[in-house]
């Protein structure tokens, strides 16, 4: 009789995921903590702790259910410290004849599994609304695929927020109601605090010991590490934040990292919550009259629309997608992305929140750190590795299309019909940062001018060839053309001397980020001493 080893990866932590659901009674279930996965980019210590703590709790739950579990702990002497090697070692140890694993969330792992000599079986991951083959069929033959069209297809096929074949509230999209800027007197709900049990405390000490030098603080660790804790976060969001989610979805605060966002992406991505239950809970809140349609539709669109769309794009376009660089961006990452040591207030706060929480909300990622990197011409591989490292919810299937596609426009327009580039004016409108910044957001040139302004016009000039024919960019290129040559030259000089003044991460390559981070951190420490 066949005896499988079921490998459960660190982002597949649901008791009812397909590989576990169909596991025969004699199966050995393996969860493996390995150094290689913690270091291939220098993951934020909170991200590693979240994954290890959730893995250890799931292993215990499986044992409680009478399952045979092998848990490879990071400090075990015989641990190979590589996921695939470790799984194959355990297959021999337990005399198994097959390794079953749910389809991994990153191409690099899938590609390696497919070339191994051992008997690997990849099982379809059904924790999503849209099967990959259905996405492939949807996108087939579409010259200009758009998320909005995919989203309507998904609304129809799931029936979420649909009434007799029509969208609830009479519209597909209520985004025009969702653009309220920050209001300083806004009362924001607190997050639930999760108790650290012995398992979580041991993991926090282990991670501090092995990965403590990575960018990011472990101090405020408050991620849900069990399904029960994740459900408490979901209930809390639905009750306290969802009603205002829409209105303040695009707002940015100098002090509040979460505003009315869900902070549920990490729990969904590692398998503690199912996106279906999250969307259904939001939909029920609308029908109970406890949250308005603009909030509920906006929230469901992020999950049913964007989250499913980016996954479809990733698997449809990989492996070539990772090499795309439509705008020929060439620069390394600004070194301060690893320290937060910058005078640009909006960037400083987004980076500090990232360091403290392994979280920044979407508009911080897109319009602050992302927009700045786009305007500076940071190359995709450098920026993508940073985003993959620093956020607790980051796995390549979701990180790459957002960074390479949505932020850097490096896929030529699959993720957005135009680049999300903006000057300081946008940040000033949506946030309360600028009044606390040493730069003046109203100035474009001069020593106090907000760097986003000259960088913005410089970016438009540099990429006119690619962008000026885009009908959504016509107005802005019209403004650029109407400027006189002296003004344009002054803006160009301002942007170029700002770019020259920045320190950049050293040469890019495997492992160099950590090295770059170490150097940036050490020089910062010296200047403090």
In the complex, which residues of this chain contact ligand DLZ (CB under 6 A)? 9-11, 32-34, 37-38, 43, 48, 51, 83, 104-106, 109, 395
The nearest distance, CB 524 to ligand DLZ, in angstroms, is 25
Counting residues that bind ligand FAD (by CB under 6 A) gives: 28
The entry of ligand DLZ, ligand SF4, ligand FAD, none that residue 48 binds, CB within 5 to 8 Å by partner kind: ligand DLZ
Pairing of the two strands 166-167 and 162-163: antiparallel
Binding part of the chain for ligand SF4, among 115-123, 126-134, 147-155, 342-350 by CB under 6 A, reads 342-350
The reply on whether position 50 binds ligand FAD by CB under 6 A is no
Q: What is the total residue count of the chain? A: 529
Identity of the residue, 10 or 380, whose beta carbon is nearer to ligand DLZ in the bound complex: 10
In 3D, which of 395, 443, 419 has the Cα closest to residue 104? 395
Give whole-number Cα distances, 212 to 35, 43, 194, 195, 205, in Å.
13, 10, 22, 22, 9
The reply on whether position 276 binds ligand FAD by CB under 6 A is no
Instruction: Say if CB 29 and CB 62 are below 8 A apart.
Output: yes
Identity of the residue, 100 or 361, whose beta carbon is nearer to ligand FAD in the bound complex: 361
The reply on whether position 303 binds ligand FAD by CB under 6 A is yes
The entry of ligand DLZ, ligand SF4, ligand FAD, none that residue 452 binds, CB within 5 to 8 Å by partner kind: ligand SF4
The reply on whether position 394 binds ligand FAD by CB under 6 A is yes
Distance of CA 234 to the CA centre of its chain: 19
Instruction: Report how far residue 352's alpha carbon sits from residue 219's, in angstroms, rounded to the nearest whole number.
Output: 13
The nearest distance, CB 38 to ligand DLZ, in angstroms, is 4
Give whole-number Cα distances, 361 to 9, 151, 245, 264, in Å.
26, 21, 12, 11
Which of 262, 346, 378, 392 touches ligand SF4 by CB under 6 A? 346
The entry of ligand FAD, ligand SF4, ligand DLZ, none that residue 43 binds, CB within 5 to 8 Å by partner kind: ligand DLZ
Peptide bond into 319 cis (omega under 30): yes
Q: Which runs of consecutive H residues, i.e. helices, occur in 196-255? A: 198-211, 227-236, 242-245
Binding part of the chain for ligand SF4, among 9-17, 115-123, 132-140, 344-352 by CB under 6 A, reads 344-352
Instruction: Say if CB 268 and CB 12 are below 8 A apart.
Output: no
SS3 state of residue 123:
strand
Identity of the residue, 126 or 440, whose beta carbon is nearer to ligand SF4 in the bound complex: 440
The reply on whether position 130 binds ligand FAD by CB under 6 A is no
Instruction: Say if CB 431 and CB 252 are below 8 A apart.
Output: yes
The reply on whether position 263 binds ligand FAD by CB under 6 A is yes
SS3 state of residue 420:
coil
Which of 261, 345, 361, 458 touches ligand SF4 by CB under 6 A? 345
Q: Which residues contact 187 (CB under 8 A, 6 or more apart)?
A: none
Identity of the residue, 37 or 324, whose beta carbon is nearer to ligand DLZ in the bound complex: 37
Identity of the residue, 86 or 341, whose beta carbon is nearer to ligand DLZ in the bound complex: 86
Bridge partners, residue 122, by sequence: 101
Identity of the residue, 358 or 383, whose beta carbon is nearer to ligand DLZ in the bound complex: 358
Bridge partners, residue 184, by sequence: none
x/- track of binding to ligand SF4 for residues 409-438 (CB under 6 A): ---------------x--xx----xx--x-
SS3 state of residue 5:
strand
Cα dihedral angle (197, 201, 202, 203), rounded to 10 degrees?
110
Which residues contribute to the site for ligand FAD (CB under 6 A)?
Answer: 261-265, 268-269, 299, 302-303, 306-307, 310, 361-362, 365-366, 370, 387, 391, 393-394, 398-399, 402-403, 406-407
Which residues contribute to the site for ligand SF4 (CB under 6 A)?
Answer: 344-346, 424, 427-428, 433-434, 437, 439, 441, 450, 452
């Amino acid at each position: 009789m066949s005896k499988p080893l079921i490998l459960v990866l660190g982002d597949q932590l649901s008791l009812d995921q397909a590989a576990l659901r169909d596991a025969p009674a004699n199966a050995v279930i393996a969860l493996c903590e390995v150094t290689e996965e913690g270091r291939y980019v220098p993951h934020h210590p909170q991200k590693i702790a979240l994954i290890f703590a959730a893995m250890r709790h799931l292993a215990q739950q499986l044992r409680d259910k009478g399952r045979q579990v092998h848990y490879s702990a990071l400090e075990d002497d015989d641990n190979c410290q590589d996921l695939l090697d470790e799984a194959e070692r355990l297959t021999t140890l337990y005399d198994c004849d097959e390794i079953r694993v749910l389809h991994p969330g990153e191409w690099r792992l899938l590609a390696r599994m497919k070339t191994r000599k051992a008997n690997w079986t990849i099982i379809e991951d059904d924790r999503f609304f849209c099967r990959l083959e259905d996405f492939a069929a949807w996108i087939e033959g579409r010259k200009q695929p758009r998320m909005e069209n995919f989203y309507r297809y998904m609304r129809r096929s799931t029936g979420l927020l649909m009434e007799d074949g029509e969208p609830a509230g009479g519209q597909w999209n209520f985004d025009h109601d969702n653009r309220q800027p920050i209001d300083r007197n806004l009362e924001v709900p607190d997050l639930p605090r999760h108790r650290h049990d012995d398992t979580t405390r041991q993991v926090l000490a282990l991670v501090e010991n092995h990965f403590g030098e990575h960018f990011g603080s472990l101090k405020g660790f408050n991620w849900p590490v069990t399904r029960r804790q994740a459900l408490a976060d979901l209930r809390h969001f639905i009750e306290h934040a969802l009603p205002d989610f829409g209105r303040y979805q695009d707002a940015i605060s100098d002090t509040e990292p979460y505003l009315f966002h869900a902070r549920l992406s990490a729990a969904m991505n590692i398998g503690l919550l199912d996106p279906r239950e999250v969307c259904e809970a939001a939909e029920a809140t609308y029908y109970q009259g406890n949250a308005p349609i603009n909030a509920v539709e906006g929230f469901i669109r992020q999950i049913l629309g964007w989250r499913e769309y980016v996954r479809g794009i990733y698997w449809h376009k990989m492996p070539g997608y990772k090499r795309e660089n439509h705008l020929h961006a060439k620069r390394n990452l600004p070194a301060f992305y690893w320290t937060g040591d910058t005078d640009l207030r909006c960037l400083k706060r987004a980076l500090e929140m990232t360091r403290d929480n392994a979280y920044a909300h979407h508009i911080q990622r897109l319009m602050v750190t992302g927009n700045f990197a786009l305007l500076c011409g940071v190359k995709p591989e450098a920026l993508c590795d940073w985003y993959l490292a620093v956020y607790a919810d980051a796995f390549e299937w979701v990180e790459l299309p957002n960074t390479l596609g949505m932020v850097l426009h490096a896929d030529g327009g699959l993720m957005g019909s135009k680049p999300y580039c903006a000057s300081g004016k946008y940040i000033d409108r949506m946030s309360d940062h600028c009044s606390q910044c040493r730069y003046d957001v109203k100035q474009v040139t001069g020593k106090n001018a907000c760097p986003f302004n000259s960088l913005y016009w410089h970016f438009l000039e540099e990429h006119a060839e690619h962008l000026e024919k885009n009908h959504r960019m016509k107005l802005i290129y019209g403004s650029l053309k109407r400027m006189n040559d002296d003004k344009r030259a002054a803006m160009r000089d301002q942007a170029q001397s700002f770019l020259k003044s920045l320190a950049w991460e050293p040469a890019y390559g495997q492992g160099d980020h950590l090295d770059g981070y170490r150097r940036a951190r050490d020089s910062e420490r010296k200047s403090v001493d």
